[in-house]
Structure 1
Amino acid sequence: MEKVLVFPGGKWQLPLVRRIKELGLFTVVVSPEENAPCKNASDFFCQSDIFDIDNIERLAKDMGVTAIVSDECDIAMPVVAELGKRLALRTLTPKEAKLFTNKYMMRDFCVKHGIPVPEYRLCYTFDDAWDFFKEINKTIIIKPVDSNASHGVFVINDEDELRKKFNESMKYSRAEKAIIAERYLQGKEFTADGLKTKHGHCTLAVSKKKHFSHNSSIAKELYFTYDDPDYKYDEIRKLTDKFVLESGLEFGLTHAEYKCEDGKYYLIEIAARGGGNLVSSVITHYLSGINTYDHLIKTAIWGDTEANLILAPGFEERCAALVFFETPREGIVSQIYGEEYLKNNELIRDYCFNFAIGDHITDCVNDSVRIGYYIACAKSKYELDNLIHNVEKEVRIEVLDD
């Protein structure tokens, strides 16, 4: 039996582990958490730091692992690549993993290949970032070179903000102690999720984002449609195809983020994994009818498989939304209203509250600590908009002062 290694074994990898088992394959999960969400779903579980590559390599050899896959986790991709190289298994290469996780390399690559990116600079010191701020004389955004979940991402309007946030941003860079400073783009933000096969790259799902009012770097809603009357989704697809094809990535899932300013689309970042919060396992599959996990798993084991990347009739009308609950105000949760509505509505594919009655909640400071979400899939925008409106009415979090 083929044995497939998966990590880091968190909630977002659970659908991938389950799909591997549904295909009749043996799952080996490595996770730093003793009681990781994927533990009980796996055939063999090992508690280990996923960056202890030597230990995972020994385990893979002892277990006779024949494939390595991961999803929805940027920091795992360089580990996947290094293990693939050491074990001679089909994965992305270390060079590709670096390109798809290092934001500075990403921007240099875009400039080389004519893909628009905002003005940027690699900064090792506060003075580097401050000089850049003065040079462009506009609002900037600073971010770690290779972090995830918007850790250490801050919009900077003046010297005082930069002094307060520079070191915090720097501490989240893993491979290199540096940050990226770039011009802050004014405009709508988008995501694009796709699949790379031997036949090329296809973007399967595009979303338009809304953000929390307290932090413009953290998404509040991703609204997925095939097209939009005000924006050029085909331009987003074209730019994503260009980056992926020029990168040399052989196979796998992709997730890109863009901003549109004055009608021009700028690549913000791109990853060789699927979108987080179950975008790649629930939303992309619903919108395209293509099981991207099947392609990822089977290609990693047996080589590239045939993949029909043509949408079935009627699928262009499908739409979906990933919506994050907003904290009404800081305090102690006394009651949650409307959970039965979420549980019993057939359009709601998944939902989660990351807190319980009695917990203290506050505004989120990064993507990983949002208080909860729901995923809705519908056959029309009318149906989806009506659902979102009803959830806003039915679901309410009551908060008391500490």
Structure 2
Amino acid sequence: MSRLLVLGVAAVQDDLIVRAQRDGHHVIACAGSADGPGAARADVFIEQNFAEVDEIVALAEAHAVDAIYSVGSDRAMPVVGEASERLGLPVLASAASALVCNDKLLMRERLGPDTTGNVPFFRVSSGAGPVPGLAFPFIVKPNDSQGQRGVALVHDEREYRDAVEAAVAHSRNGQAIVERYLDGPEISVNGYLVDGELVFCAVSDRNTWDGHVGLVREHRLPSLNATERTVGLARDLLEQLATAMKVANGPIYAQMKVVDGEPFVLEVSPRLDGCHLWRLIEYTRGVNLLDVVVDHLLNGDVPDRKRFEPARQVAGTLEFLAQPPGRMNQRFDDREADFEQYYYAQDDVVRPINGRMDKVGYRVRSDA
């Protein structure tokens, strides 16, 4: 039995806690508050903000943990990497790689103009001056936030100034990034690397809510928005991203947009995504990436290539239930699902994450 320190207790980290406990591992979970299902499920919950590396190192030493990890959190991954490196614990993605991925400006700069899937961008901060040299509309977003917090599609100069202030308010380093707007469907690209080789790649549609830029409504696998050629290009781009970010082992996740059949990167991170896509991939391909991560990290089992060979090839959809913050008042319809989970009970208060359409549950439906 190993002792695992999990950073975060939201539903996506709860997936990891459940999986680790299934193998008999002892799980200590850490978060700033007990506001997610992982707090009650963990063997030990400690109410502590995980942003400070020194505090996480001390916590890991106090509990004699064998590994530190998280799922679905850009904020957690640099801390996971640095704390693990300092303690000599197993590391799938280095702190340096996680930091570059977590900083959208650094990520764009690292990719450089020669990467086909990169886009023009500018750095801005509070009190931004003239509109940068991009034609309207364009995207303004925080430099180091996730969950679509503070992201806006800007159509004129007034919107631009308001959007910059909102984005800066959601950024931990007080910076925002302006990017060329890409008009096309979104795709999610989940991959897995072993010793620098991309041994698995799944491309799914990432469909968003009407009127809410970037807020995901559902994922669909296989993609209906990406041709076979686009899927191949997305895999090639993911390999370029892994090389540029110096990610050689473990999961890698990217959001991309497709314009005239060409994929362009929106963001990339050396982790499993924050949408439970490992479960959609399991139901539609028979490959469980969460199992692979736990075995790779805690058991030291370098995954064999055969583990990524699809056991089936069926279509499936992961649908989110979402609503504005307030009292939980949503339910799925009665269609049969392979898996269904609510994040809140009826009449619970839905916490503002993006403050517009916040997730309150999800389900997976496949043709299997």
Same fold judged by TM-score > 0.5?
yes
Aligned to 1:20: 20
TM-superposed CA distance for 1:319, in Å, is 2.1
Q: d(CA) in 2 for partners of 1:41 and 1:358?
A: 19
Aligned to 2:338: 348
Which of 164, 167, 170 is the equivalent residue of 2:165? 167
State, as a whole percentage, how many aligned pairs show the same letter. 21
TM-superposed CA distance for 1:348, in Å, is 3.4
Aligned to 1:319: 315
TM-superposed CA distance for 1:76, in Å, is 0.7
Q: Give 1:272-291 correspondences, 5 Å limit.
A: 272-280=270-278, 282-291=279-288
C-alpha contact (below 8 Å) 2:111/2:118 kept by paired residues: yes
Aligned to 1:384: none
Q: Give 1:244-323 correspondences, 5 Å limit.
A: 244-280=242-278, 282-303=279-300, 305-307=302-304, 308-312=306-310, 315-316=312-313, 318-323=314-319
Q: d(CA) in 2 for partners of 1:361 and 1:40?
A: 18
* 1:37 alignment partner AA: P
TM-superposed CA distance for 1:138, in Å, is 2.5
Secondary structure in 2 aligned to 1:216? coil
Q: d(CA) in 1 for partners of 2:266 and 2:332?
A: 36
Q: d(CA) in 2 for partners of 1:116 and 1:185?
A: 11
Point out the structure with max Rg over C-alpha. 1
Which of 167, 178, 189 is the equivalent residue of 2:186? 189
Q: Give 1:3-402 correspondences, 5 Å limit.
A: 3-34=3-34, 36-91=36-91, 92-111=93-112, 114-128=115-129, 130-132=130-132, 135-174=133-172, 176-198=173-195, 200-225=197-222, 230=227, 232-280=230-278, 282-303=279-300, 305-307=302-304, 308-312=306-310, 315-316=312-313, 318-325=314-321, 339=333, 341-342=334-335, 345=336, 347-352=337-342, 354=344, 356=346, 365-366=355-356, 369-379=358-368
Q: Extract unaligned runs of 5+ from structure 1.
A: 380-402
C-alpha contact (below 8 Å) 2:10/2:35 kept by paired residues: no
C-alpha contact (below 8 Å) 1:123/1:181 kept by paired residues: yes
C-alpha contact (below 8 Å) 1:151/1:366 kept by paired residues: no
Secondary structure in 2 aligned to 1:118? coil
TM-score, normalised on structure 2? 0.88
Secondary structure in 1 aligned to 2:38? coil
TM-superposed CA distance for 1:227, in Å, is 6.8
* 1:87 alignment partner AA: L
* 2:339 alignment partner AA: R
Q: d(CA) in 2 for partners of 1:366 and 1:238?
A: 34
Q: Extract unaligned runs of 5+ from structure 2.
A: none
Secondary structure in 1 aligned to 2:213? strand
Q: d(CA) in 1 for partners of 2:215 and 2:202?
A: 20
C-alpha contact (below 8 Å) 1:259/1:268 kept by paired residues: yes
Aligned to 1:399: none
Pair 1:325–1:201, CA change in 2 (3 A): same
Moved more, 238-247 or 165-174: 238-247
Secondary structure in 1 aligned to 2:280? helix
Q: Which has the higher helix share?
A: 1
Secondary structure in 2 aligned to 1:28? strand
Secondary structure in 2 aligned to 1:30? strand
Secondary structure in 2 aligned to 1:161? helix
C-alpha contact (below 8 Å) 1:336/1:357 kept by paired residues: no
Q: d(CA) in 2 for partners of 1:57 and 1:11?
A: 24
Pair 1:323–1:336, CA change in 2 (3 A): closer
Q: d(CA) in 2 for partners of 1:34 and 1:330?
A: 18
Secondary structure in 2 aligned to 1:276? coil
Moved more, 22-31 or 145-154: 22-31
Q: d(CA) in 2 for partners of 1:263 and 1:226?
A: 13
Residue correspondences, number: 365
CA deviation profile, 1:40-73 (whole Å, cap 9, x unmatched): 3222221111113323222211221111111111
Pair 1:338–1:208, CA change in 2 (3 A): closer
TM-superposed CA distance for 1:30, in Å, is 1.1
TM-score, normalised on structure 1? 0.81
Pair 1:301–1:354, CA change in 2 (3 A): closer
